[in-house]
Structure 1
Amino acid sequence: MLSTNTLAFACSFLLSFGFGVRILPNENGSLPLLDSYDYIIVGAGIGGLVVANRLSEDASVSVLVIESGDLDDRAEDISIPGNIGLEDPRRYEVKLEMAPQEFLDGETRVFTQGKAVGGSTIVNGLVWTRGSVADFDAWEHLGNPGWGWMGLLPYFRKSENYSKPISNKSIQDASMTARSVISEHGHHGPVEVGYPNYFYNQSHNFLNGIQKLGIPLNEDPNSGNATGACMVPSSMSAKNQSRSDARTAYLDSALERPNLHLITGHTVTHILYDKGGGKPSSSTYVPSVPSLNITGVEFATNETVDTITATCKKEVILAAGSIFSPVLLQISGIGPAKLLRSLGVDVAIDLPGVGSNLQDHPTLEPVYDYASPDVFSAWDIVGSTRDGVREEYLVNRTGPWTAPMVNAIALPALSWITDRVQEVLDDAADANCTLPSSYDAALREGYAAQQAELLSLLARTDTPAYEVMSTSWGQLAISAMQPFSRGTVLANSSSMFENSQPIIDPRFCSHPVDCELLLLGVEFNNRLIQTPPMAALKPRPPPGFSAEEARNKTALDETVRVYGTRNLRIVDAGVIPLVPGAHIQATIYAIGEKAADIIKNESWGTLPRVEPLPEEFQDRQPAASPEDSSKSGLLPLLKPGRRHGTTHSGREVR
């Protein structure tokens, strides 16, 4: 093993690198690291880059970020919204295979995650939705003071630079008029949020058809009431009409900071610790749980080379995503004791919840082929047409290449799409949800508390039951927004490299109401394509997606410190107690911003650096300060229920 002493170089040497914070191997292959860092961050996705940026604002604080992927090349298939979905998946994505889904058809499914600096924000669909007030207030109800809507709103605003919809015929035709000032939004944050300069006509057919079915338009789905239909904002620059991702937002602006170091192409293999050293600073210290002092991490490029050790003075922060953060905890000895022993891993802390509470929005992706000859879609951008579209984009930043694959969405409340609301709620309450066999009494109690919140959310008219995403080529994808099913993420080996494919089992429809909601969505789609605006496109349902066929056969596709440790936190999608009824990238940016303030306040008493809320919010409950949150008992993450030890592992950014 290489020692940190042999790797240490002077800070002045680091300043000479052309990439600023990026640390590259020297001539003999070693990395010029410091002897020790204040903070080591594992993963350069949203959570990792947000926290790295904010902590390194203090020049006296040293921060090391370790990422297994690489910097993307900013090529057209990544940066241009119109190319989303057409990029080479081998470049910056990793395919993860799920376990066979026993509650569906016994088949496996594959989902992808970004593997690059910026994480999934390099390859996602750009959709920018927060969720509803009630989604986040439910987090607070589950025992997380300061993490409700009012506690997170300053951080939603802090992370974004929002540009209102352009006032042109595209917006007006869809009856979408923007308010001159939208106080719920931020206008000075790092992430650019805006709208394209082009909307496919099919998006207007979709919105007009939705209205024919009684679903209202929502001029701003991020105002705290998400329900309705809209031209959806995207994580893209309104001026430049290009992708805005975690790298451009939080890393590029910090490239010249000598105290922020980034290593790419290396995988963290273990979290290092010693026992003792006093109790955690949090008032929620549990005497019966060992107090681990985290000393650093080991990492390497692959399993055949010696590992490198980096040590920390203050904390290690896990931001490896909701799949790999729990796996890294498990192989480092923090997790369910039975699993760890089966892997031959020494148990440092027996935490049954690590890798439990896996949630995702189950999704169906039917494509209704538009047979009308005058339909122009993204699939028509080929040959000479592509050359013209490309030139229009590069010269004027206009035309179809400015449009992401999803222009328009609908987020219906349950009562808007069925008159069987009480029946569905009764089914959700009475159905036997088959929880994982590894769930102990505390995890089951936590799930019962979650279920009560989910039932409340489904009964509301300001939170959606599901989402319908409309693409230009006819896909009307349906996602259940309040999933009741729960799954697990488990290491399959004591080696991180052998865990490139861990055991991922979301257990889709282990609670049958999730499938019932998707079937309601299919039936809604079939009503939608029969409305005059949609019928004009001459949509043809795919096999298996007529109303009768769908009924018979469905193919589915507050400190964040780890319990029992003094200085190990998680800042990624895995801390979410209940997935909000939205795409989650906006939420993870806000979590990262809030977590950074919590860490700063605990470490050196720095007060939150957020803009005060506008006057109209002053009569509402104020956001809890990071000091208040640190007393809330949020140890590995936000509490999913009312007992210690229940941890969450949700999906990464869609």
Structure 2
Amino acid sequence: MNCYDYIIVGAGSAGCVLARRLSEDRSTRVLLVEAGPPADDFWIRAPAGMGKLFRSEHYNWCFETEPVPTLRNRRIYWPRGKTLGGSSAINGMVYVRGHRRDFDHWRDLGNPGWGWDDVLPYFRRSVCRPGDTEKGSESHGLLTVSDPSVLHPAALAFVEAAQRTGLTRLDDFNEGEQEGVGLLRATIRNGVRQSTYDAFVAPIVARRPNLDIRTGAHVHRLLFAGVAATGIEAEIDGQIQRFHAAREVVLCAGALSSPHLLMLSGIGDAEQLRRHGIATVAHLPGVGKNLQDHFAVRVQARTTREGSYNQYLAGWRKYAAGARYLLTKGGYLALGSSIAAAFFRSGPQVAYADMEVSFRPMTVSYAGTSEAVVDDFPAISASVYRVRPDSRGEVILRSADPMQSPAFVPNYLHAPEDIGAMLAGLRRLRQILAMEPLASFVLEELVPGKEVRTDAQWIDYMEREGQCAFHPAGTCKMGNDRMAVVDARLRVQGVERLRVVDASIMPVVTSGNTNAPTIMIGEKGADMILADQRAASRAA
């Protein structure tokens, strides 16, 4: 009963796509295992519920980094989804594919088939947009990507103000060119969050008996016969169970957990594995290396009442907003984390936009609680981050105990180029805030405050207050050099019947939010697996 053709570890942004595609052949048995619980919660479905999920230990791994020397030895909080849908069930829902040059660069690094023209069909295959003449079908168009449900005046003012600083207005950030300003699209369908589980798996669960889903299944290690992956060992309800794969095991556990599971299973730097008493199956020193994330710095400003929607989500009015959402699935509770964004270059020497500003006409604080609480005064917030940082970190095995998380070392701002770019980005944001028509809404800058002017003051603020943008990637990078972990077909090097299909395979993180490209990786990875299986069958 525990034998399958394919075993997929992790029901996140890529794993759910794979489960859908690999199970389309009803003669193929597929197992999808997820460490977290089912995603049955009102606050997962309601887009505004992301604030309640930000530190929810039930649906969130709530990771923390090691102390970061460049950030005053602060530990940075890293939320990661722990439920069906993975991080797509708790994220800000922003859908940004990245710049065409991101993928052409992947191809030029020695990964044929990963250029923009190669991956664009996979992006398009996933998505259905309301109002499109060609609706989604059984084989594609499963994920709804929609425009903001409310066009707040401050968001429109941000777009116009950014245009007046020299940026071009873009109707869509997702067709390969990003430099400019515009409104963001989100994975929201009729006012309800669409995680990858909702879009790809939930509609087929009842009618695909060949797809088996196990939640609460914490995978301890992969099983091998020699160098061939044969299955997994997982803990379910306190019991250790083994599951066997006749064809392949596919890791989709994400940029933090996929390298961890590889190391626990004997794939990684042999010396590091030996220190923890783990026998080496394959010496791959790049496992866990090349960690990249978007380091974010926020600016907040108090506004006129018309410049923010805080007042509609605070005090007694939040109950009215809740009632409106329950009745219509509309209003402010149906919005994603950011409504508008601007992409621009930090300097003339940069080939294409390397900075992003994400804008929202509202602010939240935590005030010692585990939930984000909307402030009771009108204000706006924007986050600045370099979308292609030069700094690199790593995931380090801390113990052979699979229940102990590894050490996360992000090395934010380790590269001087990242500091210079962030300074340019923050100054550009201030220029936008000071430009009409947005300037008419702004009363005063709250964070960091107008007294912060010099480079030294800005750097001090970044070190004290900077956080992550929740986009870790790159820790099982695709390539053909000595630090590569998977090849261009996402097969783990040095072993057989094992692939990694998630954000960890990115050689360089994409220019923007990472959920959309991770879904694309799932689509392309599924096609590769099926094509290779057909080729093997013909050869046999």
Indicate which of 324, 335, 350 corresponds to 1:403. 335
Residue number in structure 2 paired with 1:80: 46
Cα offset for 1:242? 1.2
Q: 1:241 to 1:508 in 2, by over 3 A?
A: same
Residue number in structure 2 paired with 1:641: none
Residue number in structure 1 paired with 2:197: 247
Deviates more, 1:530-539 or 1:218-227: 530-539
Question: What is the CA–CA distance in structure 1 between the aligned matches of 2:441 and 2:334, rounded to whole Å?
Answer: 23
Per-residue deviation, residues 120-160 of structure 1 (Å, max 9, x unmatched): 01110011111111111000000001111111011001111
Question: What is the CA–CA distance in structure 2 between the aligned matches of 1:510 and 1:412, rounded to whole Å?
Answer: 22
Q: Kindly report which structure 2 residues correspond to 1:445-464, keeping only aligned pairs within 5 A, or say none.
A: 458-460=350-352, 464=353
Indicate which of 317, 323, 335 corresponds to 2:268. 335
Partner SS, residue 39 of structure 1: strand
Cα offset for 1:328? 0.7
Deviates more, 1:95-104 or 1:113-122: 95-104
Find out whether 1:537 has 2:441 as its counterpart.
Answer: yes
Find out whether 1:506 has 2:414 as its counterpart.
Answer: no
Cα offset for 1:554? 2.5
Contact 1:561/1:569 (<8 A) preserved:
yes
Q: 1:35 to 1:535 in 2, by over 3 A?
A: closer
Question: What is the CA–CA distance in structure 2 between the aligned matches of 1:585 and 1:82, rounded to whole Å?
Answer: 18
**Paired letter, 1:396:** T
Per-residue deviation, residues 400-439 of structure 1 (Å, max 9, x unmatched): 2222231111111335xxxxx34xxxxxxxxxxxxxxxxx
Residue number in structure 2 paired with 1:487: 393
Partner SS, residue 221 of structure 2: strand
Per-residue deviation, residues 303-339 of structure 1 (Å, max 9, x unmatched): xx44111111111101111111101111111000111
Partner SS, residue 221 of structure 1: coil
Contact 1:217/1:230 (<8 A) preserved:
yes
Partner SS, residue 365 of structure 1: strand
Indicate which of 518, 521, 524 corresponds to 2:422. 518
Indicate which of 127, 142, 149 corresponds to 1:160. 127
Find out whether 1:213 has 2:165 as its counterpart.
Answer: yes
Question: What is the CA–CA distance in structure 1 between the aligned matches of 2:359 and 2:514, rounded to whole Å?
Answer: 18
Residue number in structure 1 paired with 2:361: 472
Cα offset for 1:260? 0.5
Indicate which of 253, 269, 293 corresponds to 1:320. 253
Cα offset for 1:523? 1.0
Residue number in structure 2 paired with 1:266: 217
Question: What is the CA–CA distance in structure 2 between the aligned matches of 1:483 and 1:306, rounded to whole Å?
Answer: 42
Cα offset for 1:383? 4.1
Cα offset for 1:543? 4.7
Find out whether 1:390 has 2:322 as its counterpart.
Answer: yes
Indicate which of 416, 432, 438 corresponds to 1:528. 432
Question: What is the CA–CA distance in structure 2 between the aligned matches of 1:69 and 1:571, rounded to whole Å?
Answer: 19
Partner SS, residue 400 of structure 2: coil
Per-residue deviation, residues 247-281 of structure 1 (Å, max 9, x unmatched): 11111122021110011101110111021xxxxxx
Question: What is the CA–CA distance in structure 2 between the aligned matches of 1:128 and 1:306, rounded to whole Å?
Answer: 39
Question: What is the CA–CA distance in structure 1 between the aligned matches of 2:453 and 2:24, rounded to whole Å?
Answer: 55
**Paired letter, 2:384:** I
Q: Could you tell me which runs of 5 or more consecutive residues in structure 2 were left unpaired when the two chains were aligned.
A: 363-379, 468-487
**Paired letter, 2:156:** H
Contact 1:523/1:547 (<8 A) preserved:
no
Partner SS, residue 527 of structure 1: helix
Larger radius of gyration: 1
- Please list every run of at least 4 consecutive aligned residues from structure 1 whose deviation after the TM superposition is greater than 6 angstroms: 180-183
Cα offset for 1:187? 11
Question: What is the CA–CA distance in structure 1 between the aligned matches of 2:50 and 2:310, rounded to whole Å?
Answer: 10
Q: 1:151 to 1:344 in 2, by over 3 A?
A: same
Question: What is the CA–CA distance in structure 2 between the aligned matches of 1:229 and 1:587, rounded to whole Å?
Answer: 20
Find out whether 1:97 has 2:64 as its counterpart.
Answer: yes
Percent identical among aligned pairs is: 31
Residue number in structure 1 paired with 2:236: 301
Per-residue deviation, residues 42-71 of structure 1 (Å, max 9, x unmatched): 111111111111111001100111110011
Deviates more, 1:526-535 or 1:312-321: 526-535
Question: What is the CA–CA distance in structure 2 between the aligned matches of 1:187 and 1:262, rounded to whole Å?
Answer: 21
Which structure dedicates a bigger proportion of its chain to strand?
2
**Paired letter, 2:155:** S
Question: What is the CA–CA distance in structure 1 between the aligned matches of 2:320 and 2:58, rounded to whole Å?
Answer: 27
Find out whether 1:194 has 2:146 as its counterpart.
Answer: yes
Question: What is the CA–CA distance in structure 1 between the aligned matches of 2:170 and 2:15, rounded to whole Å?
Answer: 33
Question: What is the CA–CA distance in structure 2 between the aligned matches of 1:510 and 1:367, rounded to whole Å?
Answer: 25
Contact 1:378/1:400 (<8 A) preserved:
no
Per-residue deviation, residues 516-564 of structure 1 (Å, max 9, x unmatched): 1111111112222211222212242235453323155433223111111
Question: What is the CA–CA distance in structure 2 between the aligned matches of 1:577 and 1:59, rounded to whole Å?
Answer: 34
Q: Could you tell me which runs of 5 or more consecutive residues in structure 1 were left unpaired when the two chains were aligned.
A: 1-33, 165-179, 276-291, 416-420, 423-457, 608-626, 628-654
Question: What is the CA–CA distance in structure 1 between the aligned matches of 2:98 and 2:163, rounded to whole Å?
Answer: 21
Deviates more, 1:405-414 or 1:217-226: 405-414
Residue number in structure 2 paired with 1:554: 462
Question: What is the CA–CA distance in structure 2 between the aligned matches of 1:312 and 1:399, rounded to whole Å?
Answer: 46
Q: 1:182 to 1:219 in 2, by over 3 A?
A: farther
Question: What is the CA–CA distance in structure 2 between the aligned matches of 1:392 and 1:606, rounded to whole Å?
Answer: 55
Contact 1:529/1:539 (<8 A) preserved:
no
Q: What's the Cα RMSD here?
A: 2.3
Contact 1:162/1:187 (<8 A) preserved:
no
Partner SS, residue 46 of structure 1: coil
Cα offset for 1:398? 3.1
Contact 2:419/2:459 (<8 A) preserved:
no
Contact 2:145/2:186 (<8 A) preserved:
yes
Cα offset for 1:35? 4.0
Contact 2:92/2:336 (<8 A) preserved:
yes
Residue number in structure 2 paired with 1:413: 345
Residue number in structure 2 paired with 1:125: 92
Contact 1:199/1:403 (<8 A) preserved:
no
Please report the TM-score for the alignment, with normalisation by the length of structure 2: 0.87
Cα offset for 1:100? 1.4
Contact 2:2/2:242 (<8 A) preserved:
no
Residue number in structure 1 paired with 2:481: none
Q: 1:104 to 1:401 in 2, by over 3 A?
A: closer
Cα offset for 1:483? 0.6
Q: 1:373 to 1:58 in 2, by over 3 A?
A: closer
**Paired letter, 1:550:** W
Question: What is the CA–CA distance in structure 2 between the aligned matches of 1:520 and 1:187, rounded to whole Å?
Answer: 44
Partner SS, residue 114 of structure 1: coil
Partner SS, residue 427 of structure 2: helix
Per-residue deviation, residues 3-42 of structure 1 (Å, max 9, x unmatched): xxxxxxxxxxxxxxxxxxxxxxxxxxxxxxx241111111
Question: What is the CA–CA distance in structure 2 between the aligned matches of 1:389 and 1:543, rounded to whole Å?
Answer: 27
**Paired letter, 2:441:** L
Question: What is the CA–CA distance in structure 2 between the aligned matches of 1:35 and 1:44, rounded to whole Å?
Answer: 18
Cα offset for 1:162? 1.9
Cα offset for 1:478? 0.5
Partner SS, residue 319 of structure 2: helix
Contact 2:501/2:521 (<8 A) preserved:
yes
Partner SS, residue 121 of structure 1: helix
Cα offset for 1:380? 3.4
Residue number in structure 2 paired with 1:355: 288
Question: What is the CA–CA distance in structure 1 between the aligned matches of 2:52 and 2:163, rounded to whole Å?
Answer: 31
Cα offset for 1:345? 0.7
Cα offset for 1:190? 1.1
Residue number in structure 1 paired with 2:103: 136
Q: Kindly report which structure 2 residues correspond to 1:568-579, keeping only aligned pairs within 5 A, or say none.
A: 568-579=498-509
Partner SS, residue 294 of structure 1: strand
Find out whether 1:151 has 2:102 as its counterpart.
Answer: no
Question: What is the CA–CA distance in structure 1 between the aligned matches of 2:120 and 2:70, rounded to whole Å?
Answer: 37
